[in-house]
Chain A
Amino acid sequence: MNEKIVWIILLSALITYLTKFPMLAISSRWEVPAWLRRGLAMVPVGVFSSMTIPPILFHVRDGAWSPEFLVAGAVSLAVGLWRKQIVWALVAGVLVTALYRLVF
C-alpha cells in the first residue's frame, strides 16, 4: 500500500471525526450563538454547489468546451429535486452522460 495515501486516509478520518463529536458535545452543554448557527446552516448548500457548478460550466472534452455535463447535470439535479434521493440523481446523471456520448 502507498504509505502517503494511508496517511491521508488516517488524517481524513481524524478530521471527519472532529466535525462530528466536538460540536455535538458543545451544543449538549452550551448555547451556540445564532449567527454561527445561521452560517453553519449554509455549509451544505455552499459546498455542494461549489463542487458541482464550476466543473459543469467549464467542462472541457477533447480540448474544447462541451455541454455534455451541463445537460447531464440539469437532468441529474432535476431528478434529485424530484425523487429526494441521492442515488437517483447519480443514476440519472450517469445514464444521460452515457447516452449523450452514444448520440454525439
Chain B
Amino acid sequence: MQSTSAMFAKGMKDILPVAAAGIVDGIVFGLLARQAGLGIAEAMLFSLLVTAASSQFAAVGLISQGIVGWPILVSTALLNARHLLYGLALGPHFRGRPLWKLALMGTALNDETYALKATYLERGGNPSIAYVVGAGTTDYFIWNGSTLIGAWFGAAFTQTETYGLDFAFIATFLGFLALNLLSSFHLKVAVCASAVACVGYVLAGSTAAVIAGTLTAIVIGAVSGER
C-alpha cells in the first residue's frame, strides 16, 4: 500500500487527461455566465463553490432568461442527483473509514473523479481517499482557471447567436446524455423520459419538463427488474 501523499500525487496526475478536456467547458461556462449578465466575481463564485459543471450551465441558462430563484435550486438538485449514484457505487469500497475523511472525499466527488476512481478500482487499485481528493484538487484548479479565462473575455463576445453559442448548453447536455446511454434499456428510459418531459415542457415550461422527465426515469428504473 502506497503512502497517502503518493496516492494524492497519483490522483492529481491521473485525472489530467480527463480534466484537461473540461477546459473548453470551463471557458464556455465563463463566457455564458457573462452573457447572462453575471460579473466575473459571480461567475467565479459559481465555479469556486458549486463546482458542478452541468448544474452551473443550467443555472446560467435560467439566469439568462431572467429567472433567479427556486427553479435554479430545483434544477441544481435534479442535475446533481447523479452524485447520489456515485456515492452509492463508491461507498461500499470505503467501509469503516472515518466520516470526516468521507466528508472530504465528498467535496472531490464529481463526474470526472468518479469515472477515474471507478476505472481505477476495476483494475484492482486499492480504495484510496487521498487518490480521489488528489484528482479532485487538479480538477478544481482546472475548472476554476478555465472559468476565469472565459469570464475574463466573456464581455468581449457580443454576437453569441452568430457563433452558435446559444446552443452550447444543449450541446453540453447532449454530450452528458451520450455518455449515459449505456444500454438499450437506458435508451428506452431516455425515450420515455423525453416524451413525458415534452408534455411538461409544453404545459408548464422547462423546469416542469426536467422534474417530470427525471421522475419518469426513476420510476421506470425502480419498478423494472432489468439493468
Asked if residues A85 and B217 are in contact (CB atoms below 8 Å), the reply is no
Give chain A's interface residue range (CB within 8 Å of chain B): 35 or more
Asked if residues B82 and A25 are in contact (CB atoms below 8 Å), the reply is no
Please judge, given known A-B contacts A49-B197, A89-B172, whether A32 and B88 are in contact too, CB under 8 Å. Answer: yes
Residues B157-208 near A (CB distance < 8 A): 161-168, 170-181, 186, 189-191, 193-194, 196-198, 200-202, 206
User: Chain B CB within 10 Å — which of A24, A48, A100 has the most?
Assistant: A48
Q: Mark A67-104, 1 if CB is under 8 A from B, else 0.
A: 00100110011011100111111111111111111000
Asked if residues B210 and A89 are in contact (CB atoms below 8 Å), the reply is no
Asked if residues B178 and A55 are in contact (CB atoms below 8 Å), the reply is no
Chain A residue numbers with a CB within 8 Å of B186 are 42, 45
B10 contacts the other chain (CB 8 A): no
Please judge, given known A-B contacts A4-B68, A87-B175, A93-B168, whether A54 and B209 are in contact too, CB under 8 Å. Answer: yes
A20 to B107, CA, bound (A): 7
Please judge, given known A-B contacts A36-B222, A81-B181, whether A12 and B59 are in contact too, CB under 8 Å. Answer: yes
Asked if residues B81 and A47 are in contact (CB atoms below 8 Å), the reply is yes
Asked if residues A35 and B87 are in contact (CB atoms below 8 Å), the reply is no
Q: Mark B73-85, 1 if CB is under 8 A from A, else 0.
A: 1001111111111
A47 to B191, CA, bound (A): 12
Pairs A–B under 8 Å by Cβ, sample size 21: A5-B63, A9-B45, A12-B49, A19-B84, A20-B87, A21-B107, A25-B91, A25-B103, A46-B214, A48-B190, A49-B193, A50-B196, A50-B214, A52-B174, A55-B206, A79-B178, A86-B22, A91-B171, A93-B170, A94-B164, A97-B166
Q: Which of A's residues lie within 8 Å of B, judged by CB? A: 1-2, 4-6, 8-13, 15-17, 19-29, 32, 35-58, 69, 72-73, 76-77, 79-81, 84-101
